[in-house]
Amino acid sequence: MSVHKANINWQRHPHSSDSNTYSRNHLVKLNGDQQIKASASEEFKGDPNCADPEQMFVSAVSSCHMLFFLAVADFQGLSVESYEDNPEGYLEKGPKGGMEITRIILFPRVIFGGDKKPDQETISKIHEKAHKSCFIRNSITSSVEINYS
């Protein structure tokens, strides 16, 4: 077991374009004094120049999948030179009637180096193992698809 902590800090300020409401901007502090400027998504009066919780949620799923993919590939003696993903999360009305991230689609692009190059079947199996192992994916109800053509 491990414990994961963050610090969220918000102070009242006027909204930059709507004087009838407050700013949604806040600061997320993580390990190593990392600071992320966060806000609500623009559709909910947030600052489009800040990360929103939905983006951070989608990126957490993608990051977790990538880390397991890298571990499985390494265990199989494969050398990954680069991994890039542009995941998409869909905020929609869910089965309970409220808004939720119902599905996430990952679009990983992986470049392998070294002498041992995997075929498509091996790459598919690595993605399947990463998908089944990802702690974040195992903790959510959103569907997660992997599009790695």
Q: What is the pLDDT of residues 47-94, one digit of tens each?
A: 999 999 999 999 999 999 999 999 999 999 999 999 999 999 999 999
Question: Are residues 30 and 66 both part of a single domain?
Answer: no
Q: For residue 23, what are the domain limits? A: 7-44
Question: Are residues 70 and 139 both part of a single domain?
Answer: yes
Residue 135 lies in a domain: yes
Question: Are residues 67 and 29 both part of a single domain?
Answer: no
Residue 1 lies in a domain: no
Residue 99 lies in a domain: yes
| In 74-142, beta strands by DSSP E | 79-84, 88-93, 99-106, 109-113
As for how many domains the chain has, the answer is 2
pLDDT of residue 93: 95
Question: Are residues 21 and 90 both part of a single domain?
Answer: no
Question: Are residues 66 and 29 both part of a single domain?
Answer: no
Residue 124 lies in a domain: yes
Please report which confidence band the pLDDT of residue 32 belongs to, taking 50, 70 and 90 as the band edges. confident
The whole-model pTM stands at: 0.93
Question: Are residues 74 and 123 both part of a single domain?
Answer: yes
- What CATH number is associated with residue 110? 3.30.300.20
Question: Are residues 65 and 130 both part of a single domain?
Answer: yes
Question: Are residues 93 and 116 both part of a single domain?
Answer: yes
Residue 33 lies in a domain: yes
